[in-house]
Structure 1
């Protein structure tokens, strides 16, 4: 089921010499509509300001184009904020370059409709109204000065200030909702009672928009009049696997052996036979090698496992980087079973190298750390938390390139995902706060990266090995130099900062940790030693009480023997 809307728009010049309003409508089809949604916007160039019309038009054109070019893994609000801030910088740069454009600025009100939700972005005094079950509500607040003689003077607009503050809001859609984005030339001339009447009068959004603008001018409006009206005819899916429901109906393939063929891919090796999933090395008709991932036949009726595999494929397709294997863009028609195919790379995981007895040098681990953190920072910029960073999920190819594997439990908030385990990582690499029920975030990935570097250097774990379902207690980590005294202080302190018990004591971002690794001993990290009292988790008065008790016991003993 897809989101269906009806849209109408109208923009009239009125008594002004030119129209400084600009409206934008983008209603993509199919997958683009499901992932990014429909975008509707109205901008009103500041009246009397040179370049107001240009500011309004270019802002909407820029935002409309750039929003659909942002990564699919970004949230709508994050993507809108990025493109609006970029538009603000562009308007400011034009005003500074061209003296005749000094003061150019514009209001902006946008509505993105996707699935069963809306997200609005607003700055200025254009307004967004919603008519729901015959009740009219204004969803925005005018950014004007709260004085009778200055209520038409904007406090905020695109192009007014280097630091643009935009209002964002979101909510659920209902079938039959009508949303109207209107410039001040409409709402100021008509008033809410007349707006309500017109929106109730017509069923077609185009007639609503035309009547709003025409009526505003007929009632003496002295400004440009613009309106965009949209009606929700049918709600879409609000769940990623609902969008992939067609692929979800594919059967899980039977267990394959070397030489078996599936949709043109011939199995050459069984790479991994786990409790839930199967990985095969396969080759196509041209002899190119790939990796095919599917589920164990016993999981064929397990909807959660099937959804997780589809989510992993969807997420992997949106990470276009040399830091991860690339997913082949196979269509539903090219597959007869439930699986996905990704690129094959010669080499081995870091865990396989450890198991084979490989000794990692200090320089080698530092280089691995830099590549790992570049990959992590790329994932984090795409709003993806990996949640299972460990040597077994880090592949070092024969081309010397490091790749992060397995997005099967990765977390992304762009679209609601199926229910999964809250924190499905490997216990020894899980941050302390995850054992208290906190959901994994970027800080947890940084912690896991620190434990990975520690383990590569020492083959030990900083807080000891943690077994599944164990409730560990985190004291002071063992310094890696205890196992390898040749580890330099700058690298040891860097790892200790990454694996700190408290998230606020770790690096804030993967980029910060990467920078520390690149600078090395030139800018070493200083880790203050924890006092004995803090290490024992006792406050000062408790220590004083213990010492006082010991002294009293000693005095009593001396009295008794004297």
Structure 2
């Protein structure tokens, strides 16, 4: 039976000798699907004593982090989700500070520390601002994992060098650690850790009792040792780590039987089957009609043989998972279902038109550059929708782009998509290269991390192909497994196939096709802009040497010159 992450949490807070408790703490311990997707969260905050509103800041920081973190897109990584939430919380607290007496004295504003711990799959993620602390205990060893953001002026005077609500931006310390069974994490404010020693902590934890009671006992010990501040302590113990992630990352698919073979006129679930649209060894697509709304849709059913291929089935599940989460005019959407499924299938919107590959074959003449730019720009907008959700499409090619009579496109086929949030609990699939070799960026073949610039490379290959129906490096990229081999790649200029390709346009495409990811555009919008507007930097570049622009013509001309020189030499010698 597949195990899930199992933890126990104990926590306690006390105002101590002060009349007001400016600390705040909280924890989120979801179950099942959300536990796998987002993990377990603990957060602790400490207000500053000079402010009479910092308790509001502490409560806001912790509550916002826990609530908003679980509301972030499932496709986001822990790091992205947490940092976005912390940034938003800091902005709100700073705005409140600017509208209060803290505008002129930040020590009286909506200011607090924040330290959070997120456990997901077999990793611990720490986010830290201020001087609360996070410790880890392994065996009988206590390790401090965070660094205090506090500057001491003297033995009696110090101040926070970093806190929420002080400025428009805040720097967050981030640390990721491997989790192990029986790991214990402690989150403490300074009113606790300054008045406890390691022996007292280990002794309390060795007692066989509820963790809430352990936290309470430790707070009482800190008070007895002379603590004069607010006291807050959280204890989180890892009892079990999840087994290897199963093939099902979405529970709705588990145990569903395969859909039967369908024929025109069949009533399947809530849909009337019209005809088969496409069929191959992996799946069958049916055109259908919603029996209630009469709207057309596509039903996708996996091939029976796919059941014996876990990775292929995960690609199948992933497609609808992605389609449900991306709402963009240039991306195929999942068709909403009225009731629970009884079979294994997917439903998508029906897209009028044909694939870009079929469209290209139907063109009776060379397609204008402006027309290709329009298509590529639409694909870029679709890719931006993926990248905003920390997804990479990874299979950009003419077959995966639909185009209608109005030249509007839709990006389809999400089975190769990489999703950061899923990769964190399915790490064995994080680096799988599932796209089409001819369009894949070189980093895939060098086993280097892929990023949005990898989709950019594929988009540039698509641009090149739509204009020339050739590939920029031939088929050599897929053969490169070292940087040395990459440097020997030969780029074939588009101008040798088409005379109407401007040099600045060629330079923009070549930049997006650079073998090194760092040398490509930092954003897709920059690439599209340079396709539409001559970049002055490219205009100033020296003209491409003939041997680079057209090597065949170069050697032909050189041979002709050599022949003429030989003939001339012979004539002079004999006459």
Q: Same fold (TM over 0.5)?
A: yes
2:553 aligned residue: none
- Label 1:36 to 1:527 Cα distance change in 2 as closer, same or farther (>3 A): farther
From 161, 167, 170, the equivalent of 1:164 is 170
Instruction: Return the alpha-carbon distance in structure 2 between the equivalents of residues 225 and 452 of structure 1.
Output: 60
2:533 aligned residue: 520
Partner-residue secondary structure (3-state), 1:414? helix
String of CA shifts for 1:122-180, please: whole Å, max 9, x gaps.
12211122344454333322223377637843222223444532222233444444322
After superposition, residues 172-187 of structure 1 pair within 5 angstroms as: 172-187=178-193
- Tell me the C-alpha RMSD between the 2 structures: 3.5
- 1:140 aligned onto 2:127: no
Number of equivalenced pairs: 540
Give the C-alpha shift of residue 305 in structure 1: 1.5
Partner-residue secondary structure (3-state), 1:66? helix
Instruction: Return the alpha-carbon distance in structure 2 between the equivalents of residues 51 and 217 of structure 1.
Output: 24
After superposition, residues 197-216 of structure 1 pair within 5 angstroms as: 197-216=203-222
- 1:390 aligned onto 2:397: yes
- 1:323 aligned onto 2:336: no
Instruction: Return the alpha-carbon distance in structure 1 between the equivalents of residues 208 and 546 of structure 2.
Output: 74
2:247 aligned residue: 241
From 30, 38, 44, the equivalent of 1:36 is 38
After superposition, residues 400-415 of structure 1 pair within 5 angstroms as: 401-415=408-422
Any conservation in 1 of the 2:248–2:314 contact (CA below 8 Å)? no
Any conservation in 1 of the 2:521–2:527 contact (CA below 8 Å)? yes
Any conservation in 1 of the 2:152–2:159 contact (CA below 8 Å)? no
From 507, 525, 534, the equivalent of 1:511 is 525
Q: Which moved more, 1:153-162 or 1:224-233?
A: 153-162
Give the C-alpha shift of residue 240 in structure 1: 6.1
- Label 1:240 to 1:56 Cα distance change in 2 as closer, same or farther (>3 A): farther
Any conservation in 2 of the 1:131–1:199 contact (CA below 8 Å)? no
Give the C-alpha shift of residue 99 in structure 1: 2.8
After superposition, residues 390-469 of structure 1 pair within 5 angstroms as: 390-397=397-404, 401-416=408-423, 417=426, 419=429, 422-464=432-474
1:115 aligned residue: 121
1:365 aligned residue: 372
Give the C-alpha shift of residue 420 in structure 1: 8.4
- 1:484 aligned onto 2:491: no
Give the C-alpha shift of residue 475 in structure 1: 4.3
- Label 1:511 to 1:67 Cα distance change in 2 as closer, same or farther (>3 A): farther
Give the C-alpha shift of residue 490 in structure 1: 4.2
Instruction: Return the alpha-carbon distance in structure 2 between the equivalents of residues 534 and 230 of structure 1.
Output: 66
Structure 1, gaps ≥5 residues long: 537-549
Partner-residue secondary structure (3-state), 1:63? helix
Any conservation in 1 of the 2:204–2:217 contact (CA below 8 Å)? yes
- Label 1:219 to 1:116 Cα distance change in 2 as closer, same or farther (>3 A): same
2:89 aligned residue: 87
- Label 1:248 to 1:524 Cα distance change in 2 as closer, same or farther (>3 A): farther
Any conservation in 2 of the 1:56–1:107 contact (CA below 8 Å)? yes
Instruction: Return the alpha-carbon distance in structure 1 between the equivalents of residues 96 and 477 of structure 2.
Output: 60
String of CA shifts for 1:255-289, please: whole Å, max 9, x gaps.
43333444333332222222323222222322322
Give the C-alpha shift of residue 447 in structure 1: 1.4
Any conservation in 2 of the 1:428–1:465 contact (CA below 8 Å)? yes
From 26, 29, 35, the equivalent of 1:27 is 29
- Label 1:216 to 1:432 Cα distance change in 2 as closer, same or farther (>3 A): closer
Partner-residue secondary structure (3-state), 1:223? coil
Instruction: Return the alpha-carbon distance in structure 2 between the equivalents of residues 227 and 11 of structure 1.
Output: 6
Instruction: Return the alpha-carbon distance in structure 2 between the equivalents of residues 205 and 215 of structure 1.
Output: 15
Partner-residue secondary structure (3-state), 2:509? helix
2:353 aligned residue: 347
Partner-residue secondary structure (3-state), 1:145? strand
Q: Which moved more, 1:277-286 or 1:370-379?
A: 277-286
- Label 1:400 to 1:172 Cα distance change in 2 as closer, same or farther (>3 A): same
Instruction: Return the alpha-carbon distance in structure 2 between the equivalents of residues 244 and 237 of structure 1.
Output: 16
- Label 1:151 to 1:326 Cα distance change in 2 as closer, same or farther (>3 A): farther
Give the C-alpha shift of residue 193 in structure 1: 2.1
- Label 1:151 to 1:430 Cα distance change in 2 as closer, same or farther (>3 A): farther
- Label 1:204 to 1:358 Cα distance change in 2 as closer, same or farther (>3 A): farther
Partner-residue secondary structure (3-state), 2:186? strand
String of CA shifts for 1:443-477, please: whole Å, max 9, x gaps.
22111111212222232332336798799986443
